[in-house]
Amino acid sequence: MTAPLKTEHGINFSIAHAGAWQDLAQHVFRHAAMGDVRGKLFLKEPLQLTGMEISLGTIPAGRGTPFTHRHRENEEVYIFVKGRGQFQVDDKILEVREGTVVRVACAGVRAWRNNSSEPLHYIVIQAKSGTLANGTITDGAVVSEKVSWSD
Amino acid sequence: MTAPLKTEHGINFSIAHAGAWQDLAQHVFRHAAMGDVRGKLFLKEPLQLTGMEISLGTIPAGRGTPFTHRHRENEEVYIFVKGRGQFQVDDKILEVREGTVVRVACAGVRAWRNNSSEPLHYIVIQAKSGTLANGTITDGAVVSEKVSWSD
């Protein structure tokens, strides 16, 4: 069983409530070849994303990805939210923990594991390599509409 | 003072250790117009990202963005990692908490606040609207290279 994801949509937004990290295993990704992956929630479809794919993930203590993979055209970023583990890119082993962020280029051969005694919670983001023109605050524009909760 | 960000770069990766969420206020974003923004760490430059901008953020209890903004060409996603707050898109007020993810289209007028008594930790991702071709596992390719820690 996979838990239903609560979503709501408006003209300029979508919102989903995935629940607390400790309960993320309720979400199961049905993988055509590998079967059910417990604790993996992809958000592109439920949030109607057009520029990125995002997944929330959790790995129990002592578990990891049993295979390596690379990408065709998407840059990937892994944000480790809580716990500790290891991340492999090509021949390099990186130690990861709360607050660690890893970028992997398409060609990077990657795998990761939770070699600790606590759950490892993380986020993966995919976006097409080389597509971002403006970052930080250069794409944003402050507008005159008031914040709802201001006087 | 803003804390130095520990980074390391390889042929196919970059890694940064931002530290625990509770210590995120050590990172200060220097905003040309608004001055220093404590607890905001942009990662595009330190991680050499090409398809997305990512920032880690923390807001103390009772604080929020004093202005609204929209975007020119980037879709934005807000992932709330810990705590509780409110998110405004146009005339809609959304309740957000650990595990809430909000997509905002360019035209959406947005602001957010921490109206709780605990810190609110979150991640913001920008990617150019409409650029993603493949999501979930359709851009990835399992390869034959072994996982380093397998037998």
- Using one digit for the tens of pLDDT, what is the confidence trace for B4-28? 899 999 999 999 999 999 999 999 9
Find the mean pLDDT for residues A73-95: 97
- A118–chain B nearest CA distance, Å: 16
What's the CATH number for A39-128?
A: 2.60.120.10
In this predicted structure, the answer to whether residue A150 has a pLDDT above a threshold of 80 is no
A31 and chain B: CB distance < 8 Å anywhere?
yes
Cβ atoms of A53 and A43 closer than 8 Å: yes
In this predicted structure, the answer to whether residue A151 has a pLDDT above a threshold of 80 is no
Q: Where are the domains of chain B?
A: 15-128
Instruction: Identify which has the larger pLDDT, A138 or A81.
Output: A81
- Kindly report the pTM of this predicted structure: 0.96
Find the mean pLDDT for residues A90-117: 97
What is the interface pTM, i.e. ipTM, of the complex?
0.96
Of B104, B138, B122, the C-alpha closest to A53 is B138
Look at residue B43 in the predicted model and tell me its pLDDT: 98
For residue B113, the 8-state DSSP code is E
Chain B residues inside the 8 Å CB shell of A129: 50-51
What are the pLDDT digits (tens) for A4-47? 899 999 999 999 999 999 999 999 999 877 789 999 999 999 99
Find the mean pLDDT for residues B118-122: 98
In this predicted structure, the answer to whether residue B135 has a pLDDT above a threshold of 80 is yes
Look at residue A149 in the predicted model and tell me its pLDDT: 83
d(CA A106, CA B106): 27
Share of chain A above pLDDT 90, in %: 85
Look at B20 and A98 and tell me if their CB atoms are within 8 Å: yes
Look at residue A6 in the predicted model and tell me its pLDDT: 92
Instruction: Identify which has the larger pLDDT, B56 or A150.
Output: B56
In this predicted structure, the answer to whether residue B151 has a pLDDT above a threshold of 60 is no
Look at A79 and B123 and tell me if their CB atoms are within 8 Å: yes
Chain B residues inside the 8 Å CB shell of A7: none
Give the Å distances, CA to CA, from A8 to A17, A46, A95, B122. Answer: 9, 9, 37, 20
Chain A residues inside the 8 Å CB shell of B104: 12-13
What's the CATH number for B15-128?
A: 2.60.120.10
B66 pLDDT tier (thresholds 50, 70, 90): confident
B1 pLDDT tier (thresholds 50, 70, 90): low
